[in-house]
Amino acid sequence: MKILICTSPDDAADIAAQVIARTVVATPDCTLGLATGRTMEAIYARLVMRHRAGDLDFARCGSFNLDEYVGVAPESPNSYRFYMQDHLFGHVNIDAARTHVPAGVGSDLRAAAEAYEAAILQAGGIDLQLLGLGENGHIGFNEPLSALRSRTRVVTLDEATRVQNAGMFGGDPALVPTQAVTMGVGTILDARSVLMVATGDGKAEAVRQMIEGPVTAMVSGSALQFHEDCLVILDEASAAGLSQRAMIAYQMQHDPDLRFLVAGAIG
Ligand code: GLP
């Protein structure tokens, strides 16, 4: 795990967008794993700006999103498919046929989840998986007690998650579906690289558990400690609970990869 602590959420979004852009430039036919949530909005806005400026070509990219609500149709403004269309897909030249979001409606969601796993494999796996962090420490919708080897499946959402995500449902947690389809922790760990972005003081405790806590199914983000190529981008607020700040600052100064990213953000 490499950790970069930025002074502000804007800086965190700048660097995250830069990491994604570099992947797309270096590997034009890459497969991106994409995430939703408020944290991602600033990142997608930056990717759209770069595309409009002519710097970023998504024509050969494919994508797989992490999750979708059960019972919410793709055309509903509450769906993650709609979110992706609204924040990214509708504004860049990615081929719609190569964008994938798990199906939240259908007669056999279990079979659809298995087919989703097969489609990821058929695409050659995910090159870069973008992740946000739930306030309860989840990645995707892998709620507490999710098996660390889990695959794409239907899950029941934690009450805390329904409260956290009520914004998309008019602010009423009761309107947030009780179930979702999510890539599993095992699916996420199979990505060749992982980019986790968490900002704001609401994430500080989850960030602490993800980075410094034991690996536990109670905090699916902690499974990222097993990943060999995982970059975590934080801001000061989300990093506030970490006890190892001096060590992280030292690595930010001396690790060539981290120095390169920081220099790129400033330059
Ligand atoms: C939802 C998504 C997660 C995401 C989380 C963070 O729960 N399923 O994948 O990480 O939101 O959301 P936000 O960025 O809004 O805090």
pLDDT tens-digit profile of 86-134? 999 999 999 999 999 999 999 999 999 999 999 999 999 999 999 999 9
| Domains defined along the chain, listed by start | 2-266 (3.40.50.1360)
Among 232, 160, 248, 235, residue whose Cα is nearest residue 200: 235
Give yes or no for residue 266 having a pLDDT over 50.
no
pLDDT at 263: 77
pLDDT at 262: 84
Q: Is the CB of 35 under 6 A from ligand 1?
A: yes
Question: Taking a C-beta distance cutoff of 8 angstroms, is the pair 35, 131 a contact?
Answer: yes
Q: What is the secondary structure of 18-65 as a DSSP string?
A: HHHHHHHHH-TT-EEEE--SHHHHHHHHHHHHHHHTT----TT-EEEE
Which of left, alpha, beta for 29 (phi over 0: left; psi -120 to 50: alpha)? alpha
Position 267 confidence tier, pLDDT thresholds 50, 70, 90? very low
- State the distance from the centre of ligand 1 to the C-alpha of 254, rounded, in angstroms: 31
Question: Taking a C-beta distance cutoff of 8 angstroms, is the pair 115, 143 a contact?
Answer: no
Tell me if the pTM is above 0.95: yes
pLDDT at 264: 64
Give yes or no for residue 23 having a pLDDT over 90.
yes
Among the options 78, 136, 142, 165, which is catalytic? Answer: 136
Is residue 165 part of the annotated active site? The answer reads no
Question: Taking a C-beta distance cutoff of 8 angstroms, is the pair 200, 238 a contact?
Answer: yes
Both tokens of 141, joined, read 């919708």
Could you write out the three-class secondary structure of 94-122?
CCHHHEECCCCCCCCHHHHHHHHHHHHHH
- State the distance from the centre of ligand 1 to the C-alpha of 92, rounded, in angstroms: 22
Question: Taking a C-beta distance cutoff of 8 angstroms, is the pair 135, 202 a contact?
Answer: yes
Both tokens of 225, joined, read 């400690």
Position 184 confidence tier, pLDDT thresholds 50, 70, 90? very high
- Residue range 70-87: average pLDDT? 97
- Residue range 162-182: average pLDDT? 96
Atom of ligand 1 nearest to the CA of 132: 10
Both tokens of 127, joined, read 């090159």
pLDDT tens-digit profile of 230-252? 999 999 999 999 999 999 999 99
Among 197, 179, 45, residue whose Cα is nearest residue 113: 179
Question: Taking a C-beta distance cutoff of 8 angstroms, is the pair 155, 147 a contact?
Answer: no
Q: Is the CB of 4 under 6 A from ligand 1?
A: no
The protein residue with its alpha carbon nearest to ligand 1, atom 5, reads: 134
Is residue 117 part of the annotated active site? The answer reads no
- Residue range 170-177: average pLDDT? 96
The protein residue with its alpha carbon nearest to ligand 1, atom 12, reads: 37
Between the two ends of the chain, the Cα-to-Cα distance in Å is: 25
- Residue range 73-87: average pLDDT? 97
Task: Determine the distance from the C-alpha atom of residue 196 to the mean position of all C-alpha atoms in its chain, rounded to a whole number.
Answer: 6
Is residue 67 part of the annotated active site? The answer reads yes
**What is d(CA 36, CA 40) in angstroms, rounded to the nearest whole number?**
6
Position 52 confidence tier, pLDDT thresholds 50, 70, 90? very high
Average pLDDT in the chain? 96
Q: Is the CB of 129 under 6 A from ligand 1?
A: no
Question: Taking a C-beta distance cutoff of 8 angstroms, is the pair 150, 119 a contact?
Answer: no
Both tokens of 252, joined, read 């930010």
